[in-house]
Chains A and B, each alone.
Chain A
Amino acid sequence: MKCILNTGRTVPQGASVEHKGSELYSTVASACFLNPVDMMMLGIENGDRVRVTTPAGHIVLTARPAEGVARGEIFVAIGPYANHIISSETHGTGMPDFKSQSVDVEPTEEPIKSVGELMEAIGGLRYDRT
């Protein structure tokens, strides 16, 4: 299903933002909020996983229903999951399209990656001794 990806801050994201290695952070940052009708169309339930694809790449997220999200849109908290698929083009403003990236959403069985795995996918090495 074609959608527009919207991102933003949330309290749980803000409260765990200094603990990006934590499971809590990864749970909040990898939640994908969809309109319940869109979830029905996709044949998925709360907690199922979706694969969200853009020209920049794809990411697996956990689907959560949210009445406040308009149909044809998805909402993901600001962070490494959303950024994994957002284009780095800024149209000469310095600011990427954090709120208007078009995406393709489909159900999947693939697992959710950790923040460490996402960073390792781009050449990083996770530090998990704290």
Chain B
Amino acid sequence: MIERDVVCPFCGCLCDDLELETEGGKIVKVQNGCSLAESTFMNDTRLPAPIRRTETGWEDISYNEAIKETAEILRDADRPLLYGWSSTHGEAQSIGVHIAELIGAVIDNTSTVCHGPSILAIQEVGHPGCTLGQVKNRADVIIYWGANPVEAHPRHMSRYTTYATGFFVPEARRERTVIVVDTRRTDTANIADEFVQIERGGDYAVFSALRAIVRGNASVIPRKVAGVSKEQLIRIAEICKKAKFGAIFFGLGLTMSRGKYKNIRNAIELTDELNRHTKFVISPLRGHGNVYGSNEVFTWMTGYPFAVDFARGIAFYNPGETTAVDILRRGECDAALIVASDPGANFPRAAAAHLAKIPTVVIDPHVNATTALSRIHIPCTAAGIDAAGTAYRMDGVPIRLKKVIDRGYPDDAEILKKIYDLLNGGMGP
């Protein structure tokens, strides 16, 4: 059977034009997707049943037992941490927030270690952004800054930028100028019309220099800024000012390096400056399929996009204090529920190590590094493969993920709902 217009749940592009061929409840072919989509749909090895760690190894347990024990762990905890949420649908995320509120937990999502700093900057100076459709149809200057879409978002360029045919840019490759700014000559840089290689940690200075040039103060710029020549900076500023519609996409190269959210703030302020000459927008390249959705769901339910602490009975937000890495590093939480993510692999060792010291429960379709650190792992559906639900694309557009096959696993939203009910004396959220 051929299933058309399937959404790929892997990265923030949420490409919705895939064609899947299924045969006897199995996906046998993936068309239109990139290699990441192919491995998402085709190599989908799951944990067969819930498992519990014993003194000597692992034992299989029933779903009911696993859910009951999880509820007990959360009920007994003084400072539980609920973390993850980026690879599942909004329906599961919202029950997660309800659980956090009910038991006074800290709930955080994976943006804390990807675009959390971008959100902090946006909270300071706003977000001059737009949907990817606008970029596709209008943008004639594209800047990738500290981002490597060839590796991390393989179809971003063919669907929305460099190679995408747009209404006002019919000859995409000829009419769009692509600028790549990075510390490394990446594969994305090799495609660029202009590659700007900056010294590590120099992003902030380069943004400031560009802002000065765009303002007409080129005379104050030294011969070189963070390894970039003044000539190149002036050339880039000119290309940007002459653009009909410019779009900056930035990645973890900005959020994770020195300056963190201040880099993004400066990037947004450069965008602001450019808008005095032409139309310019800026947006983060969000990583995981529905990480943007976790920010949306958290925000409409609690007022804050990540790192929400309900210990006081009200929502409290203080990144650096209520963020997952910090809570784990300080050894503060005494139980953890990890949903649809893998902090065991993605957090620095000292933070991950605390998960092994406390009762940690994982709800995730796949065995991952955190499994080894957990007490219980409950397998579930994977959103977009065997569960339908809402996800938000990196530009904030909600897209309905489809259920393509049935593999007999319970939906994570269902598991979470049961846990909620047990914690709330049988009353649902």
Chain A residues engaging chain B, CB cutoff 8 angstroms? 4, 6-11, 14-21, 56-57, 67-70, 73, 75, 78-80, 83-100, 115-116, 118-120, 122-127, 129-130
Chain B residues engaging chain A, CB cutoff 8 angstroms? 10-11, 35-36, 38-40, 43-48, 51, 53, 57-58, 112-113, 116-117, 120, 148, 150-152, 154, 183-186, 189, 197, 199-201, 252-253, 255-258, 260-261, 287, 306-307, 319-321, 323-326, 328-329, 342, 344-353, 356-357, 366-369, 371-373, 377
Pairwise interchain contact B329-A88, C-beta atoms closer than 8 A: yes
Instruction: Report the separation of the CA atoms of residues A40 and B347 in the bound assembly, to the nearest whole angstrom.
Output: 32
**Assuming A19-B43, A83-B346, is B151 touching A14 (CB within 8 A)?**
yes
Instruction: Report the separation of the CA atoms of residues A116 and B39 in the bound assembly, to the nearest whole angstrom.
Output: 22
Pairwise interchain contact B117-A93, C-beta atoms closer than 8 A: yes
Pairwise interchain contact B151-A8, C-beta atoms closer than 8 A: yes
Which 10 residue pairs of A and B lie closest in terms of their CB atoms, listed nearest first? Answer: A94-B323, A123-B356, A124-B372, A92-B320, A68-B185, A119-B372, A122-B353, A88-B348, A9-B152, A88-B329
Contacts of B43 in A (CB 8 A): 18-19
Query: Which of B252, B253, B348 counts the most A-chain CB atoms under 10 A from its CB?
Result: B348
Pairwise interchain contact A8-B352, C-beta atoms closer than 8 A: no
Contacts of B11 in A (CB 8 A): 14
Contacts of B324 in A (CB 8 A): 94
Pairwise interchain contact A68-B189, C-beta atoms closer than 8 A: yes
Pairwise interchain contact A96-B325, C-beta atoms closer than 8 A: yes
Contacts of A120 in B (CB 8 A): 372
Contacts of A124 in B (CB 8 A): 344, 356, 372-373
Instruction: Report the separation of the CA atoms of residues A123 and B352 in the bound assembly, to the nearest whole angstrom.
Output: 10
Contacts of A21 in B (CB 8 A): 367
Contacts of B10 in A (CB 8 A): 14
Instruction: Report the separation of the CA atoms of residues A7 and B377 in the bound assembly, to the nearest whole angstrom.
Output: 28
